[in-house]
Amino acid sequence: MPLFKKRTAGKPGEWYYCLQHKKVEEGPDCPAKDRFGPYASRTEAEHAMETARERDLQWENDPKWHDAPAGGREDG
């Protein structure tokens, strides 16, 4: 057993969704570049991909982020 364990950011009780392994982790097991979080609960972390899709749709449809309508749509 190593004397000092290399610690990534985060702590037990925080939940993450690992993008590489496609699973929920308590505390950071994987590098930050491969995870979403932290989340307050395991349930929130389990829904991380749904949350990301919803936020992507909100961003795509937010007129503050677009100078012109995408795909020829006219937003009224």
What is the per-residue pLDDT across 31-58, written as a single tens digit (0 to 9) for each?
Answer: 999 999 999 999 999 999 999 999 999 9
Distances (CA, A) of 50 to 7, 45, 67, 75: 28, 10, 27, 26
pTM, entire model: 0.66
Question: What pLDDT, on a 0 to 100 scale, did the predictor assign at position 68?
Answer: 61
Does residue 28 surpass a pLDDT of 60? yes
Q: So where are the chain's domains?
A: 15-62
Q: Residue 65 — pLDDT band, cuts 50, 70, 90?
A: confident
